[in-house]
């Protein structure tokens, strides 16, 4: 298997009021968020992002780390599973002209409202059934996406990511290292259906046969 490495180390961190979110959110909020429609991306904050728009401060500091770590160059193929509106792919393409990008997301709303610069390379698709041939990509990325599936579905998604990559993978998921982080994660979580400890995630990766790199999201 790959290595535990924080390639999002330069992603700007925001201060989160985890306790307030945990106290205020309801099962109805979760139900709305898990539809991954307009309300999740551009609706009320309690249902998701509360407005999901492009800003250079988020991914521009991050994509050089991916470029350097995976030695990305023009002509290589990169897939983003859970690409949303394509912000990361846009910044990757701006940094590496000639990079061959593709993105999929389960959200029709996100794809319909994606950035014009990458929209032709994006499509609605399920992580459990990626519409690509075996060994199609040099790198497959999935940031905070596959944990939105139940365990068995998640294993299928990992196997699909493994199938379509011929070389590298990078995944981040909701996780915790101790009881304090677990409490914070459960309070913060809105859409994830699978939240595990870091050791449990590693065991699941191994069970699925995933050989790429990985890291954790902790609020």
Write the CB contacts of 127 (distance below 8 Å, at least 6 apart in sequence): 81, 82, 104, 106, 142, 145, 146, 149, 157, 160, 161
At residue 109, what are phi and psi to the nearest 5 degrees? -60, -45
User: What's this model's pTM, rounded to 2 decimal places?
Assistant: 0.95
What SS3 state is found at 123?
strand
Give the 3-state secondary structure of 194-217. CCEEHHHHHHHHHHHCCCCEEEEE
Kindly state the DSSP code that residue 47 receives in the 8-state scheme.
Answer: G
Range of the domain at 127: 18-217
Total number of domains in the chain? 1
Predicted confidence (pLDDT) per residue in 33-52, tens digit? 999 999 999 999 889 999 99
12 occurs within a structural domain: no
Instruction: Give me the CATH number covering residue 117.
Output: 3.40.50.150
105-160 pLDDT per residue, tens: 999 999 999 999 999 999 999 999 999 999 999 999 999 999 999 999 999 999 99
Summarize pLDDT for 44-99 with one digit per residue, the tens. Answer: 988 999 999 999 999 999 999 999 999 999 999 999 999 999 999 999 999 999 99
Contact in structure between 173 and 146 (CB atoms under 8 Å):
yes
């Amino acid at each position: 298997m790959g290595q535990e490495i924080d390639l999002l180390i330069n992603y700007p961190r925001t201060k989160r009021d985890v306790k307030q979110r945990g106290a205020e959110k309801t099962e109805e909020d979760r139900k709305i968020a898990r539809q991954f429609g307009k309300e999740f991306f551009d609706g009320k904050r309690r249902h998701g992002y509360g407005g999901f728009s492009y800003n250079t401060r988020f991914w521009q500091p991050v994509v050089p780390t991916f470029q350097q770590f995976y030695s990305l160059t023009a002509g290589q193929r990169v897939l983003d599973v859970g690409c949303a509106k394509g912000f990361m792919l846009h910044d990757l393409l701006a940094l590496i002209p000639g990079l061959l990008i593709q993105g999929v997301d389960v959200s029709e709303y996100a794809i319909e409202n994606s950035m014009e610069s990458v929209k032709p390379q994006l499509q609605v698709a399920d992580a459990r059934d990626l519409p690509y041939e075996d060994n199609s990509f040099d790198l497959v990325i999935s940031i905070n996406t596959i944990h939105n599936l139940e365990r068995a579905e998640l294993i299928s998604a990992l196997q699909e990511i493994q199938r379509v990559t011929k070389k590298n993978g990078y995944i981040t998921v909701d996780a915790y290292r101790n009881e304090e982080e677990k409490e914070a994660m459960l309070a913060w979580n809105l859409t994830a259906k699978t939240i595990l400890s870091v050791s449990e995630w590693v065991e699941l990766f191994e069970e699925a046969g995933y050989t790429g790199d990985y890291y954790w999201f902790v609020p």
